[in-house]
């Protein structure tokens, strides 16, 4: 027997209501994992301004699509504030980090993400200037990002020290630093290989005006740092990253920016 139109409509509405009610039920059962989002382009771009660009939001989307046990959410922080936010529980995870960048005294679990980037020196391309230009920084004007830890400076991020010792101009914009070099107002800027790749895509005319060093200031072997009280353990997060690596999601997100994706080191 065919149901009456009215009964059929009611049945359909009840089914839709059941589906609609099931979504909040699932969402409420997922455990929140708060990831600190500090401005670190191209990984995270101006999160304090509500921007959703960058590689971290893409990674969070991939993690949330992969499973239903955890809900990864971004919490804006800053390079300087991220330590306090982590210790006080405002964030559960610091990501794209190095355990040597001031975390030594803060309890955490370390997860090797299997992602590698590098910091390079960039100068203005001039006739007669070759890679030997990057060998000695003495007497050169450096354009640096305020708050970053650089290997050539012994990872000392103190602005006064960098200004006095390395004649550094400190800004909050890698674009500004590269354009200062291009305009001759600074001699050398330091940026990640991933950021330079993105900058040259956005500013193709700069390719003929800037030259990166083969000298690497530091290799970024990225780690995720988790609070011991976080809802997810280091082993569980490492397994999610392994699944994203195996299904090609990590390569899709990171390889276009010349970030190496590989199995974590033992």
What are the residues whose beta carbons fall under 8 Å from the beta carbon of 120, sequence distance 6 or more?
Answer: 190, 191, 192, 193, 196, 212, 213, 215, 216, 217
The CATH number of the domain covering residues in 118-219: 3.40.190.10
Is residue 258 pLDDT above 70, yes or no?
A: yes
Full DSSP string of 178-198: HHHHHHTS-SEEEEEHHHHHH
pLDDT of residue 26: 44
Task: Tell which wins on pLDDT, 80 or 230.
Answer: 230
Task: Tell which wins on pLDDT, 258 or 211.
Answer: 211
pLDDT digits (tens, 9 = 90+) for 30-54: 899 999 998 888 888 877 766 567 8
The answer to whether 178 and 122 have CB atoms below 8 angstroms apart is yes
pLDDT of residue 7: 45
pLDDT of residue 101: 80
Read off the pLDDT of each residue in 166-184 and give the average, rounded to a whole number.
Answer: 95
Sorted by where each begins, the domain ranges of the chain are 29-117+220-261, 118-219
The answer to whether 231 and 135 have CB atoms below 8 angstroms apart is no
Is residue 261 pLDDT above 80, yes or no?
A: yes
pLDDT of residue 16: 36
Is residue 10 pLDDT above 80, yes or no?
A: no
Pull the structure tokens for residue 36.
Answer: 């600190």
Distances (CA, A) of 6 to 16, 17, 20, 201: 16, 17, 21, 59
Portion of the chain with pLDDT greater than 90, in percent: 65
pLDDT of residue 266: 59
C-alpha span between 165 and 224 (Å, rounded): 32
The answer to whether 162 and 153 have CB atoms below 8 angstroms apart is yes
Band (79; pLDDT cuts 50, 70, 90): confident
C-alpha span between 74 and 52 (Å, rounded): 10
Q: Which of 58, 166, 178, 171 is nearest to 123 (CA)?
A: 178
Tell me if domain 29-117+220-261 and domain 118-219 are identical in fold: yes
C-alpha span between 259 and 150 (Å, rounded): 19
Q: Which of 52, 67, 184, 62 is nearest to 123 (CA)?
A: 184
Q: For 54, phi and psi rounded to 5 degrees?
A: 105, 175
What are the residues whose beta carbons fall under 8 Å from the beta carbon of 249, sequence distance 6 or more?
Answer: 62, 66
Is residue 136 pLDDT above 80, yes or no?
A: yes
Is residue 24 pLDDT above 60, yes or no?
A: no
140 by DSSP, 3-state: which? coil
Q: Cα 112 vs. chain centroid, distance in angstroms?
A: 14
Pull the structure tokens for residue 124.
Answer: 């203005």
pLDDT digits (tens, 9 = 90+) for 87-126: 899 999 999 988 878 788 889 999 999 999 999 999 999 9
Pick the CATH number of 29-117+220-261 from 3.50.50.60, 3.90.660.10, 3.40.190.10, 3.90.1150.10: 3.40.190.10
Pull the structure tokens for residue 8.
Answer: 């059929």
């Amino acid at each position: 027997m065919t149901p009456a139109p009215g009964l059929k409509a009611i049945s359909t509405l009840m089914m839709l209501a059941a589906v609609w009610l099931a979504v909040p039920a699932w969402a409420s059962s997922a455990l929140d994992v708060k990831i600190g989002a500090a401005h670190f382009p191209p990984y995270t771009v101006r999160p304090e301004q509500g921007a959703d660009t960058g590689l971290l939001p893409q990674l969070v989307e991939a993690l949330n699509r992969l499973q239903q046990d955890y809900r990864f959410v971004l919490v804006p922080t800053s390079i300087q504030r991220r330590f306090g936010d982590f210790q006080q529980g405002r964030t559960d995870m610091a990501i794209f980090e190095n355990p040597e960048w001031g975390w030594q005294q803060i309890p955490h679990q370390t997860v090797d993400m299997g992602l590698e980037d590098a910091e390079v020196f960039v100068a203005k391309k001039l006739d007669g200037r070759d890679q030997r230009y990057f060998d000695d920084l003495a007497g050169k004007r450096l354009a640096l990002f305020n708050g970053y830890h650089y290997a050539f400076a012994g990872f000392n991020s103190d602005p006064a020290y960098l200004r006095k010792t390395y004649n550094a101009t400190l800004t909050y914009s890698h674009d500004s630093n590269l354009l200062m070099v291009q305009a001759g107002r600074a001699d050398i800027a330091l940026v990640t290989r991933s950021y330079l790749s993105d900058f040259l895509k956005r500013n193709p005319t700069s390719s003929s005006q800037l030259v990166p060093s083969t000298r690497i200031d530091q290799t970024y072997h990225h780690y995720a740092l988790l609070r011991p009280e976080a809802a997810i353990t280091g082993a569980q997060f490492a397994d999610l990253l392994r699944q994203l690596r195996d299904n090609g999601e990590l390569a899709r997100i990171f390889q276009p920016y010349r970030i190496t994706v590989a199995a974590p080191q033992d």
